[in-house]
Amino acid sequence: MNTGVNTLDSTFSYHWKSEVLLTAEISLMKKILVPVDFSEHSEYALQVASQIAKQHDAGIIILHMLGLSEFVQANSEEEEEKEAKYYMNLAKEKIMDFTDKEYLADIPVEAIIQNYKIFDEVDEVAKEHHCDLVVMGSHGASGLSHLFVGSNTEKVVRTSEVPVLVIKQPHKDFKIKKIAFACDLQTENTAAYEKVMAFAKLFSAKLETVYVNTSGANYMGYADIEKKIANFTKALGEDVPIRVYNHHSVEKGIFNFCLEHKIDLLAITTHGKKGLAHFFSGSTAENVSNHAKIPVLTLKV
């Protein structure tokens, strides 16, 4: 393992390469970014990323955001530099320890430590290193809205142009056979649909697109829903089956659908600065933690 430290205000990184090189086979999944904080949930994400990497001959980039400004309390510049080096070396040791896992064998791995906790930098790192996917752990436990809103995961999801796969629990055998794409049928979501379809093809998974029709003031009649579906498929340029699921809550409706149809992965869109909160406006964020244990793929539109 080769290690090296740049200047204190830049990125520290080390690289580890196994002797098994990537094959020349063309794949849509070549690099996976995994932000870690050394918690058990970030290890869940790393385990899943390793399984995806092995399935698709991809490499992994591990990102730890140190946030030295939170730790360095020194008065003089010399003391500050000494303290910064201490925390950087400590983080290096933790990263090396964290990646000393059997399940990472034969996977090309790169680890990067960033000095500050600016969450939109995750997207910058992902794009700079041409990552196809971000895999991130979350400990959210109160439904989909609480899974993200206000958390570090939500901050990454909100700013990431790269799809983010959120993992809540360990998956010893990560397989995706059925994907549900929860969609409000706005034409701006056609690009997200195409990304989810590409993801489904990559895993040879079946894709179900679902629209939750809520009761009350937001209820839509059959003719209006048919019109929305027609506009969506026209913008998409192809006819795709859309399932309409009636429920009083968007969130609970999504997870009931996933449970009833034995969905392995839920895909959902997020709208930049609005995050995911917009998706649940007018609905009750009920406790659906048992359902929310399935992985969630978020795509920014």
Nearest to 199 by CA among 132, 105, 141: 132
Q: pTM to 2 decimals?
A: 0.81
Q: What are the structural domain ranges in the chain?
A: 1-137, 140-301
pLDDT score of 140: 60
- On the question of a common fold for 1-137 and 140-301, the answer reads yes
Q: 16: pLDDT confidence band, cut at 50, 70 and 90?
A: very low
Q: 157: pLDDT confidence band, cut at 50, 70 and 90?
A: confident
Q: 235: pLDDT confidence band, cut at 50, 70 and 90?
A: very high
With 0-12 / 13-18 / 19 or more C-beta atoms within 10 angstroms meaning exposed / middle / buried, residue 201 is exposed
Q: Token digits for 245?
A: 């699921």
116: left (phi over 0), alpha (psi -120 to 50) or beta: beta
| CATH match of 1-137 with 3.40.430.10 | no
Q: Token digits for 212?
A: 């939750």
Query: Rounded CA gap, 247 and 256, in Å?
Result: 9
What value does the mean pLDDT take over residues 54-80?
A: 76
Q: 72: pLDDT confidence band, cut at 50, 70 and 90?
A: low
- Residue 150: CB partners within 8 Å, gap ≥ 6? none
pLDDT score of 222: 86
pLDDT score of 158: 75
What value does the mean pLDDT take over residues 12-29?
A: 40
Quick one: how far is CA 135 from the chain centroid? 5
What class, spelled out in words, does domain 140-301 have in CATH?
alpha beta
Quick check: 193 and 185 in contact, CB under 8 A? no
Q: Any idea which residue has 């794009």 for tokens?
A: 127
Amino acid in the structure at residue 268 = I
Q: Token digits for 203?
A: 């895993």
Mean predicted lDDT score pLDDT of the chain: 78
Nearest to 267 by CA among 194, 215, 218, 214: 194
Query: Rounded CA gap, 113 and 8, in Å?
Result: 11
- Percent of the chain past pLDDT 90, that is, above it, reads 41
What value does the mean pLDDT take over residues 122-140?
A: 88
What value does the mean pLDDT take over residues 143-153?
A: 56
Q: Could you report the per-residue pLDDT of 38-57, keeping only the tens digit for each?
A: 889 899 999 999 999 999 99
Query: Rounded CA gap, 297 and 165, in Å?
Result: 4
Query: Rounded CA gap, 210 and 70, in Å?
Result: 44
Query: Rounded CA gap, 30 and 23, in Å?
Result: 11
82-91, 160-169, 197-206: the lowest-pLDDT one: 82-91
Q: What φ, ψ does residue 177 adopt, rounded to 5°?
A: -105, -30
6-10, 136-140, 148-152, 237-241: the lowest-pLDDT one: 6-10
Query: Rounded CA gap, 70 and 60, in Å?
Result: 28
Q: Is the pLDDT of residue 190 over 90?
A: yes
Q: Any idea which residue has 């990067």 for tokens?
A: 112
Q: What φ, ψ does residue 149 adopt, rounded to 5°?
A: -60, 125
What value does the mean pLDDT take over residues 258-287?
A: 66
